[in-house]
Amino acid sequence: MDLLNTLVDKGLRREMPTREEALAVLATSDDDVLDVVAAAGKVRRHWFGRRVKLNYLINMKSGLCPEDCSYCSQRLGSTAGILKYTWLKPDEASQAAAAGLAGGAKRVCLVASGRGPTDRDVDRVSETIKTIKDQNEDVEVCACLGLLSDGQAERLREAGADAYNHNLNTSEATYGDITTTHTYADRVDTVQKAHAAGLSACSGLIAGMGESDEDLVDVVFSLRSLDPDSVPVNFLIPFEGTPLAKEWNLTPQRCLRILAMVRFVCPDVEVRIAGGREVHLRTMQPLALNLANSIFLGDYLTSEGQAGKADLEMIADAGFEVEGAGEVTLPEHRAAAGGGCGSHAEAGCGSGCGGHESAGCGSHEGGGVCGSAAAAAPAESAAPVAAPVAGEARTDLVAVRRRGTGTDLAPNA
């Protein structure tokens, strides 16, 4: 296919595709999806080899957000039955970080719900960053706290933060359809503040909210112009109790095409599969490793995902390897240009958090499926299971997080 050959050549040269070429990737048929994956996989392997970076999410403060982001289970007015708790203490966050690092994670992402941090919140998070780094050698720390005021990014950097996450989420033209309590320009401003402070900027998107192909291309082109080191790609998890609960618009093939388009537009950037991969990619997750070079380990902010052990097995079985703590994530030319430690945070919920929250910003759960209790009634008592139908809503794969931070149960890592 001439389109794919052209895009591979451009990706190897770090040349921007045209808008028409990016749209053409999204318009390819399901019959061609393996060709699309193979082509984008050449670009991924050229810049990142077969390494997969693991990241671990810590939900520092859950629920009760004053923002109205339609996709978020922590939003104002959400009736989703999520965990709600106030700030973790530094030692609690450090213990959670240790669990993720023991599971193979290289980066810890500190996420808090809310519009943005107060100066006292920045002090609190700064203390947490120092505690984590004192107790866990070589860890990368990314903060995701919402909209930043002047000087706050610099204070986080001084405290030892390596990166800051704040997602654009969708195109500027449609941003007002999903959030009214802050603007697209507010988000851009925060990414720019992180850049200016010397933090590795992380900014991504959420797919599956009813957006058009044009919207997806617009937001990814906007991300390229902001030049983050890391682009998390979230897939909407339609949480009951949120305005987008009925938006089931994604198939595994659609998700693969979106990831391929992001890779072609951002060839040498860390592309992370974040919230929703278990729900929408499902058994096609291993194929997506040919497109993205980064995933989350453990559970999401408010939902559960795939078992951490299952992730490690998936990476090995697909012929990839976990990126080590001593390896630099980004290609040499990006790392030398000040790309921080080589990657960033998660995805981005409301204003404050960093992940598509309903999906969570990014990690997994305890049983290969995305629900905590998906394991194991005795075979003799199990009811017959109907075969899934292509394109149907998989509400059975959405599970509220009930373990880890904010609970007395061990985290999934």
Instruction: Tell me what pLDDT residue 14 has.
Output: 97
pLDDT digits (tens, 9 = 90+) for 60-88: 988 778 888 888 777 767 776 677 888 99
Mean pLDDT estimate for the chain: 87
Stronger pLDDT, 162 or 341, i.e. the higher one: 162
Query: In this structure, is residue 388 part of a structural domain?
Result: no
Average pLDDT (96-117) is 93
pTM: 0.89
Q: Say yes or no to pLDDT of 376 above 50.
A: no
Q: Which of 65, 255, 266, 361 is catalytic?
A: 65
Which residue out of 75, 272, 334, 394 is catalytically annotated? 272
The annotation status of 109 as a binding-site residue, yes or no, is yes
pLDDT at position 75 is: 74
- Our answer to whether residue 349 is catalytic in this structure is no
Residue among 69, 144, 341, 361 flagged as catalytic:
69
User: Could you say which of 107, 109, 341, 361 is catalytic?
Assistant: 109
Q: What is the pLDDT of residues 226-253, one digit of tens each?
A: 999 999 999 998 988 888 889 999 999 9
Average pLDDT on 26-35 reads 98
Annotated catalytic residue, options 144, 202, 266, 361: 202
The answer to the question of whether 353 is labelled as a binding residue is no
Does some domain include residue 191?
A: yes
Residue 55 reports pLDDT greater than 70: yes
The reply to whether 208 falls in a domain is yes
Catalytic status, residue 202: yes
**For position 329, what pLDDT does the model report?**
96
Does 65 fall in a domain?
A: yes
8 within domain boundaries: no
pLDDT tens digits along 287-322: 999 999 999 997 877 668 888 899 999 999 999 999
Q: Which of 105-119, 288-302, 365-379 has the highest mean pLDDT?
A: 105-119
Instruction: Give yes or no for a contact between 242 and 236, defined as CB atoms under 8 angstroms apart.
Output: no
Domain annotation covers residue 246: yes
**At residue 383, does pLDDT exceed 70?**
no
Residue 299: inside a domain: yes
Q: How far apart are CA 395 and CA 225, in angstroms?
A: 36
Reading the block at residue 102, the tokens are 């023991």
The structural domain count of the chain equals: 1
Q: What is the model's pLDDT at position 360?
A: 35
pLDDT of residue 147: 97
Determine, yes or no, domain membership for 80.
yes
The verdict on whether residue 255 carries a ligand-binding annotation is: no
Rounded mean pLDDT of 3-15?
Answer: 98
Q: How confident is the model at residue 121 (pLDDT cuts 50, 70, 90)?
A: very high
CATH of residue 70: 3.20.20.70
* Residues in CB range of 9: below 8 A, 6 or more apart: 15
Determine the pLDDT at residue 387.
73
Confidence of residue 337 (pLDDT cuts 50, 70, 90): confident
Q: Decide if 272 is catalytic.
A: yes
Range of the domain at 243: 42-336
pLDDT of residue 350: 38
